């Protein structure tokens, strides 16, 4: 069978596993984590940032090494390494463990988006689209990794067709990542009054500015409050929860 015609099994519909991870409220110090999807939003932000950083490395490598087939062949191991880190799947020749697939940030992001959508009392189009986009991005990433792991078995003539196929698959992957990039702020924007989410975003301000540019909170997250106002809000909210000495320091 032509390896280029073989589609990776992850292209099939994926049936998620795991139970709803709502957490029971304990006391006022931590109530803000449990009253809504806040804790999932924090995980979502972290895994999105990690996923986008690896995507940026893939994009930079593609711009440099996809100019010719020979350049691509020499760069293939680096592509494999990056996609393996992104998904958590290892190269067939590497030692694997029972839980190795859970390590990739894109794999985690996919599951977090699924739980985020399930936990939302009022599911909306943004939550659903984010779940779909993250799932499709994960399928494309795992498929690209499978293609990369098989390219050495191809003949010279098949390598040429493979090169064109991989570039097309990579373009599809890029589109899904950019779709996620647009949807994350929309999904998070309604949490502007949650001190945990605000603190997370401000603590990751430098990394998020690399993704969204300056003034990302107002331009993309549609928050009208300035940094100083958010800082005051954080101090007030945490003091109300019993953290009298906290200072956001932002």
Helix, coil or strand: residue 189: helix
Helix axes 105-119, 38-65, angle to 10 degrees: 140
Are the CB atoms for 91 and 80 separated by under 8 Å?
yes
Calculate Rg over the CA atoms of the chain: 21
What's the pLDDT at 168? 93
Q: What is the pLDDT of residues 19-68, one digit of tens each?
A: 333 334 444 444 444 456 788 899 999 999 999 999 999 999 999 999 89
Q: What is the pLDDT of residues 115-145, one digit of tens each?
A: 888 876 656 888 899 999 999 999 999 999 9
The greatest distance separating any two alpha carbons of the chain, rounded to the nearest whole angstrom, comes to: 69
- pTM metric for this prediction: 0.78
């Amino acid at each position: 069978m032509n390896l280029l015609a073989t589609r990776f099994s992850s292209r099939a519909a994926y049936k998620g596993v795991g139970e709803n991870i709502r957490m029971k409220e304990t006391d006022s110090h931590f109530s803000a984590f449990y009253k809504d999807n806040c804790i999932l939003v924090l995980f979502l932000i972290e895994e999105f940032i990690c996923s986008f950083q690896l995507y940026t490395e893939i994009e930079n490598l593609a711009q440099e090494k996809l100019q010719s087939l020979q350049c691509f062949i020499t760069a293939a191991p680096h592509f494999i390494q990056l996609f393996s880190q992104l998904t958590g799947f290892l190269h067939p020749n590497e030692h694997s463990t029972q839980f190795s697939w859970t390590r990739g940030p894109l794999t985690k992001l996919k599951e977090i988006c699924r739980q985020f959508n399930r936990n939302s009392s009022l599911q909306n189009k943004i939550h659903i689209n984010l779940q779909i986009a993250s799932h499709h991005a994960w399928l494309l990433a795992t498929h690209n990794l499978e293609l990369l792991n098989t390219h050495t078995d191809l003949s010279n003539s098949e390598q040429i067709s493979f090169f064109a196929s991989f570039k097309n698959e990579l373009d599809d992957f890029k589109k899904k990542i950019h779709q996620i990039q647009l949807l994350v702020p929309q999904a998070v924007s309604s949490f502007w009054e949650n001190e945990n989410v605000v603190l997370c975003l401000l603590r990751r301000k430098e990394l998020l500015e690399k993704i969204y540019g300056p003034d990302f909170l107002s331009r993309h997250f549609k928050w009208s409050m300035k940094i100083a106002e958010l800082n005051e809000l954080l101090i007030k909210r945490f003091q109300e929860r019993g953290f009298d000495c906290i200072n956001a320091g932002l």
